[in-house]
Chain A
């Protein structure tokens, strides 16, 4: 573990917190968190899938996010 591993995590946490705090985009925070914490690197296709899923059913995802947060 190096000092800068913490920086990557810190940036990721801050990014997800800002997304979560935004009323218009909070529903993508949880699926992004899942993808960004995966073992493999994030890919363009995975990101687009997250954005589309959220756009198709924002309320569902929003509820899921809130439930997950509990």
Chain B
């Protein structure tokens, strides 16, 4: 797996140039809207995969990476728009870089370019779950079971299962259709045989009796069954050919009856009625036409590209797009269904009529009515063409509309049919011997066809059996396996959510129900039962659920190997208390995972640091943004060097702004760490002045307590340490009071414009010294209150006891205060 050591963006999205060292540790970016936070998220995704979801996902039809990933002023130079990632491969403990330009997003430059590195990048390029946004959270929680099933399977990298299941389902449907066709053809063949024998049911015994009667007339042996030998086994080829007059008369009658069959007439009437409705409702007509297109599209979606334009789109997204379009018009869907049923009836009637027509063609040939046979052949070809056309959709049906009622008719054949009728009627009474021979020859032909159709139906049923068994088995096996997987996810999800909401939902449980590609999700609501997540839970709770479900799924996929997750403003609806719990969850349950977190919430940004989820050196505030310069970034480490840089250029205005930004970046964390009282501001904006006014008196108060405590415990070293820091604080506050007016946000009367570098350097030094009073001299972390009795840093090197001994308590040092100022001096 991969973790990020550093990212560099050049002319990418809203950034001109920005380098962010991440040190393979969690990283946070905070800033108001439109300050460029998302550029970092996009940069990570682009660097790893060559794609930017924001420019290629849903509802982005006018956007593309090639046209819009470069900075707006660098559109003409996409080669200058690039992202450089320095990455770390955790398996081999190897560092490598990848440089990807917008001009050639699929051809990154990788150094060192080893198979192992390429394999790691290839696995990332298939991940679409690197970044979690609130929009995605909603899609996991508040979505239809089918879509949730697909999304979850995609996230779990089980989408191959869905593809196989869909292919098996479609194959099953097609096999069922083949069985229907084979059944229709068999029915026609059976009708042919029945007419020949002039029987109403295909009774083998009765048929055998009739055959043996004829065979007796020919002096042939009695057949024990029709299956054993041909009915007419001894006649020459020429004598076999012929017509049985009575059968031919029945064949002609059947041909005429089929043309006016009632089910056909009814279906043709339904088609005409539906087409008339569409004529009077152009919008409905358009919906129906679109439905045809989307159905076709859905059938053709088998690769990750649009079947119409070949543009690459994720398979799931494409299928979902077509399915959504299909659902948009219920009325059109109903009409489409009725139309399809009526067309199928007409097609089957046509196939029966064709079969009867072919029999007449054989009769015409046998009695040498060549022109009639030719006309019948032409008619059959035309009818076959119409049947084929009917299966091709709305336009084709419309094209046949005028001739549909008489499609099975044969007006153009009437003369020929009449001639055939006459010829058959006028056929001389055949002698019993000739009649028997011709009858038996025709039995062989018709029974052979019947056997062929029966075999075809048997084969079609066997194919259907195979398809059905494979589909059923695959669905059962995969559902069983997925159920156990979902149970594991369910538990991790429920545990995580309960840990976030132990105050109000400590009995929370979630339940997945998987079936045929669907995934229902119900959650417990305050002991009132199981409901869909969107039913009663607040938006903030839904956000928590989405995050927990995502983390549970990722944990299921990667286990302890989950190395990199980007959370893009995901907890905007979660309140402050629960955000703190989220920090704890991420830190404790995913200690090896590098989280890249963006937020516009300043309070959460500081919580991430105060809870230790994010190191201070890995936190950045994006203050403002301009197209020319991109985001203005504040950070804990580079702020002072940035200020010095401005001063070197004698740009006091920029140095003053940078100093103010830095104070507003660092003081909220200090205020929280020592529980300082800051004047409430309804807008939520924390300005340097009020923050400082709350922080330095609070630290003075705490250090005063530390001095008294040390005196009480008779700990002279501790007293000296606290006193020294308290005096230093007072001096710094006095110095800031003398110099600090220049950074007061309220002073914007261009006073700084008259200042030069030499005027402003003392201001910077005063604030720098003041902020050092709040830090450990060794680890640089801010001193913070621990359980109201200790003021300490992260490394415990700097530690002040605040608890005074009780009146009757021995004044020996508490055991849990191992390090004092004296220790520090000796160290």
Check B163 against A24 for contact (C-beta < 8 Å). Answer: no
Give the interface size class of chain A: 20 to 34
The residue on A at minimum CB distance from B553 is A4
Check B459 against A2 for contact (C-beta < 8 Å). Answer: no
Shortest distance in angstroms between B312's beta carbon and chain A's nearest beta carbon? 15
The residue on A at minimum CB distance from B460 is A55
Contacts of A35-58 to chain B: CB distance below 8 A: 36, 41-44, 46-48, 50-52, 54-56, 58
Determine the chain B residues whose CB is within 8 A of the CB of A47 once the complex forms: 167-168, 171, 467, 470
Check B164 against A36 for contact (C-beta < 8 Å). Answer: yes
- CB < 8 Å neighbour of A11 from B170, B302, B481: B481
Shortest distance in angstroms between A42's beta carbon and chain B's nearest beta carbon? 5
The residue on B at minimum CB distance from A51 is B466
* Separation of A44 and B167 alpha carbons in the complex (Å): 5
The residue on B at minimum CB distance from A27 is B466
The residue on A at minimum CB distance from B166 is A44
Is A14 part of the contact surface with B, judged by Cβ < 8 Å?
A: yes
Is B526 part of the contact surface with A, judged by Cβ < 8 Å?
A: no
Shortest distance in angstroms between B800's beta carbon and chain A's nearest beta carbon? 48
Given A4-B156, A41-B302, A25 contacting B469 (CB threshold 8 A): yes
Is B473 part of the contact surface with A, judged by Cβ < 8 Å?
A: yes
* Separation of A58 and B171 alpha carbons in the complex (Å): 19
Check A51 against B158 for contact (C-beta < 8 Å). Answer: no
Determine the chain B residues whose CB is within 8 A of the CB of A55 once the complex forms: 459, 462-463, 466
Interface string of B142-175 (1 = CB under 8 A from A): 0000000000000011101101100110110011
* Separation of A5 and B558 alpha carbons in the complex (Å): 10
The residue on A at minimum CB distance from B304 is A41
- CB < 8 Å neighbour of B302 from A2, A4, A43: A43
Interface string of B460-493 (1 = CB under 8 A from A): 0011011101100110011001000100000000
Check A51 against B481 for contact (C-beta < 8 Å). Answer: no
The residue on B at minimum CB distance from A8 is B160
Count residues of B near A (Cβ-Cβ below 8 Å): 34
* Separation of A8 and B164 alpha carbons in the complex (Å): 11
Check B171 against A44 for contact (C-beta < 8 Å). Answer: yes
Check B459 against A8 for contact (C-beta < 8 Å). Answer: no
Determine the chain A residues whose CB is within 8 A of the CB of B515 once the complex forms: none
Check B557 against A15 for contact (C-beta < 8 Å). Answer: no
* Separation of A14 and B475 alpha carbons in the complex (Å): 12
Is B57 part of the contact surface with A, judged by Cβ < 8 Å?
A: no
Shortest distance in angstroms between A11's beta carbon and chain B's nearest beta carbon? 5
Check B158 against A4 for contact (C-beta < 8 Å). Answer: yes
Determine the chain B residues whose CB is within 8 A of the CB of A25 once the complex forms: 465-466, 469-470
Is B559 part of the contact surface with A, judged by Cβ < 8 Å?
A: yes
Check B559 against A3 for contact (C-beta < 8 Å). Answer: yes
Check B477 against A32 for contact (C-beta < 8 Å). Answer: no
Shortest distance in angstroms between A27's beta carbon and chain B's nearest beta carbon? 9
Check A8 against B161 for contact (C-beta < 8 Å). Answer: yes
Check B467 against A48 for contact (C-beta < 8 Å). Answer: yes
Shortest distance in angstroms between A62's beta carbon and chain B's nearest beta carbon? 13
Interface string of B294-308 (1 = CB under 8 A from A): 000000001100000
Check B470 against A42 for contact (C-beta < 8 Å). Answer: no
Is B556 part of the contact surface with A, judged by Cβ < 8 Å?
A: yes
* Separation of A11 and B473 alpha carbons in the complex (Å): 10
Interface string of A1-25 (1 = CB under 8 A from B): 0111101101100110011001011
Check A11 against B167 for contact (C-beta < 8 Å). Answer: no
Check B473 against A4 for contact (C-beta < 8 Å). Answer: no
Determine the chain A residues whose CB is within 8 A of the CB of B466 once the complex forms: 25, 28, 50-51, 54-55
Given A4-B557, A14-B481, A25-B469, A52 contacting B167 (CB threshold 8 A): no
* Separation of A25 and B462 alpha carbons in the complex (Å): 10
Determine the chain A residues whose CB is within 8 A of the CB of B160 once the complex forms: 8, 41
Determine the chain B residues whose CB is within 8 A of the CB of A43 once the complex forms: 167, 302
Determine the chain A residues whose CB is within 8 A of the CB of B303 once the complex forms: 41
Shortest distance in angstroms between B155's beta carbon and chain A's nearest beta carbon? 10
Quick one: which of B157, B164, B168, B561 has the most chain A CB within 10 A? B164
* Separation of A52 and B456 alpha carbons in the complex (Å): 11
Known: A22-B473, A41-B163, A44-B171. 9 other contacts (CB 8 A): A8-B160, A8-B161, A19-B473, A25-B465, A41-B303, A44-B174, A48-B175, A51-B463, A55-B463
Closest 10 CB pairs of A and B: A55-B462, A51-B466, A47-B171, A44-B170, A55-B463, A51-B463, A15-B477, A25-B469, A44-B171, A11-B478
Instruction: Using CB atoms and an 8 Å cutoff, list the residues of chain A in contact with chain B.
Output: 2-5, 7-8, 10-11, 14-15, 18-19, 22, 24-25, 28, 32, 36, 41-44, 46-48, 50-52, 54-56, 58
Q: Could you list 22 examples of A-B contacts with CB < 8 Å?
A: A2-B157, A2-B558, A3-B556, A3-B559, A4-B158, A5-B157, A7-B481, A8-B157, A8-B158, A8-B160, A10-B481, A11-B481, A14-B481, A25-B466, A25-B469, A28-B466, A43-B302, A44-B167, A47-B467, A48-B467, A51-B175, A54-B466
